[in-house]
Every structure is written in C-alpha cells, then in structure tokens.
Amino acid sequence: MKKKLVLVVDDSAFMRKMIADIINSSSYLEVIDTARNGKDALQKVVDLKPDVITLDVEMPLMDGISTLQEIMKKAPTPVVMLSSLTKSGADKTIEAMTYGAIDFIAKPSGSISLNIKDIESEIVQKVEHASQANYKLTLNSAPSIKKNSYKPISSNQPIVAIGSSTGGPRALQQVITKLPIDFQSPVVIVQHMPKGFTKSLAERLNKLSDVTVKEVEDGDLIENGKVYLAPGGNQFRVKEINSQLYAEVKQEQPINGHQPSVDVLFESVANVNHCHPIAVILTGMGSDGSNGMLHLKKRHPRTIAISQSKETCVVYGMPQAAEKTSLVDYVEDIDNISEVLVQKIPKKR
C-alpha cells in the first residue's frame, strides 16, 4: 500500500521533530519533509505535492491562517491545524476551519508542548482521516444584518437538532448563515469539539448570521430564532418544564467517546412532549446521532430526518450511519439544507 505523504509545518524544531516521529509511526503515513514557517511551507507544497499538511496556527513571517489561505489558492491540499488552547488560538482555529482546514489538534501545553506524545493517537488518527477526506473548498459569503426579537416556542412547533463532527464548523456556517432573521424554530447543535473551541465557533457564527448564535449555558430558555451550540466537554439536553424548554448542560461521562454527544441531545428532544423535531446529521466520523434518530422517530413519528450528501461531506461516516437506519427522509447537499429547513418551518402569521 502506497503511504500518504505528509508535510509538517511548525516554527519549532522540537515540534517538527516530535510531530514527524509520531506521524511516521503510522503504517499509512510518511513525512515527506518539514517546513519552519509559512513561506517555506508554500514552496514545499508546490514542489513536493504532499497528500496532507499539518500546519501550526501561530508562526512568525507568515502565520497559519495566511499560509492556509495561500495553500488553498495555489495547491489545495487537506490541512490539519495545530493550535494552542488559548482564546486567541481557538478563534484562529475556527477561522481556519472556514478557510478549508479539515480538522485541528489542540497542543496539550502551548506552542512548544513537551508532552505532545500524550496525544500521539489523536494526531495519527486525524492526519490519516484528513488524507482520505473529501474536502470542498467553496465557501459562502455571509449576511451581516442583525437581529430578531424572540419569544418562547409554543406547543407543536418544530425544534431543529443538528449533529456534526469532522468538517462540521464549515458545514454549520453554510447552514446557519442562511437561516432568515424570522426563523420560527430554535436550533440546538452538537459539534464534536474540545472545551474552549465551541465558544469561538459560536461567536463566529453569530457574527456571520442573521439569527443569534450562542454557546449554550445551563438553564438557558430555548427560544425561537436562536441557535444553541453545546459547549465542549459537556452534555447538552433539552428539558421541558411547565411547557417551556430549557437547556441542561452537565459535565458527565462521554457517551461512546463523545461529550457532547449527538445521541444525548437527540434523545432529550425525543422526550419533549409537544414538538415536531427536525433532525439533521452533517459531516463527521463514526455513527453518533443514529441511535438518537431512532429514539426521535419512535417517540415522534412525524420527525423529519435530514442527512448531508456523501458528495458534500468532508467525512461521510455520521450521515452514512444515519442513512443505514432507513429513517432519513432527505439526503441533501450542504447548500440545500437550510432551504429545506426553511420550507419545513411554518412562517409566522
């Protein structure tokens, strides 16, 4: 089997050596070269044509964001970003996802992480998956007008529940930024992502969207026209109390390795008495969300289930698993999903 060739880009010689050694431990990957900064990387991308690139976010001369944008212009290639756990690092990482990066890895202890070996398996897995990913590089421009006034949902109104993983930040941007300012449903989302990064994602989506987007907090009232993103490292459930819907956010044990979990969110929506759920499964590895969809369809047979088409997924795992349940009503390209949602949500009279 021909190995996938990897270019490692980092301004630290120590990090270049450690990351290269970790990647070379995979029987599927081989580091073809390393680069010490963005300018060096751009030349090597053109000359060496790697199958995948690991790219540090924070570098001198040309930072990771600028380098990524140039790579996507000159030689589009799957990229995995390496980021610090700082607020700045998280913001830049989310920005990188919208410019075409496939995934990201959070360095465990800053720019020079002496304990990088602690996440060896994560690095190998994410680089392997990126090398196989179906990466689409077309990005939509986003509207800038704001915002609506909100009322709590009433009985029998829709609740849109979305699950996503690898490739999800960009997919979510393509869906959420197209929702109209008077969208008559709440939207609850689980995106597989570590603590800290979900807040940056919510803030970015909020800037780009007509609807209000926030990282959900425990006890939030769930209202029409608002989008609630599960915080990394916590489970997110929708709870019905006196005919009102509230958010329950708790740190618990991961479910099938996930916290937040799409299954947990979907099953909580299934337990709401008077609602019409619309379940959406976007790009991602694994099968999270499929069991939750089963619960939704069993409890609310009128649930509308939508999955993202294989052709527009970065990773087709989660949508494929959902489709294998034979309960998906619509398989849609990512550009069409918001249109389907708008069609299925009754307009305000």
| Residue 139 reports pLDDT greater than 80 | no
- Region 79-85: what's the mean pLDDT? 88
- Region 225-252: what's the mean pLDDT? 94
Give the rounded percent of residues in the chain with a pLDDT score beyond 70: 92
pLDDT in tens, 146-167: 444 445 555 577 899 999 999 9
- CATH 3.20.20.105 for the 158-344 domain, yes or no: no
Topology of domain 4-132 in CATH is Rossmann fold (3.40.50)
- Average pLDDT taken over every residue of the chain: 90
Structure confidence at residue 154 (pLDDT): 55
Distance CA 284, CA 270 (A): 22
Confidence of residue 225 (pLDDT cuts 50, 70, 90): very high
Give the rounded percent of residues in the chain with a pLDDT score beyond 90: 78
Find which of 51-60, 65-74, 98-107, 257-266 is predicted with most confidence, using mean pLDDT.
257-266
8 A C-beta contact, residue 143 and residue 150: no
8 A C-beta contact, residue 247 and residue 218: yes
8 A C-beta contact, residue 325 and residue 291: no
Q: Where are the domains of the chain?
A: 4-132, 158-344
Structure tokens at 286: 């694994």
CB neighbours (10 Å) of residue 14?
A: 12
What order do you get walking across the sheet with 4-9 strand by strand? 29-35, 4-9, 52-56, 79-83, 103-106
Please indicate whether the domains covering 4-132 and 158-344 agree at the CATH topology level.
yes
- Region 90-95: what's the mean pLDDT? 91
- Region 67-73: what's the mean pLDDT? 93
Q: How far is CA 340 from the centre of its chain?
A: 20
Amino acid at 275: C
Of residues 1 and 13, the one with the higher pLDDT is 13
DSSP state of 288: T
Confidence of residue 116 (pLDDT cuts 50, 70, 90): confident
Structure tokens at 77: 């290639």
- Summarize the chain as % helix, strand, coil (round to 5): 35, 25, 40
Burial pattern 49-75, b for ≥16 Cβ within 10 A else e, equals ebbbbbbbbbbeebbbbebbbbbbeee
8 A C-beta contact, residue 107 and residue 82: yes
Structure confidence at residue 153 (pLDDT): 52
Structure tokens at 75: 């030689």
- Residue in 61, 20, 57 with CA at minimum distance from that of residue 39: 61
| Residue 123 reports pLDDT greater than 90 | yes
Cα distances (angstroms) measured from residue 38 to each of 55, 90, 319: 9, 19, 35
| Residue 142 reports pLDDT greater than 80 | no
| Residue 52 reports pLDDT greater than 70 | yes
State the Rg of the chain over Cα.
Answer: 20
Instruction: Tell me which of 70-79, 80-89, 145-154 is least confident.
Output: 145-154
- Region 267-294: what's the mean pLDDT? 96
CB neighbours (10 Å) of residue 144?
A: 10
Residues serving a catalytic function are: 165, 192, 288
Residue 103, helix vs strand vs coil: strand
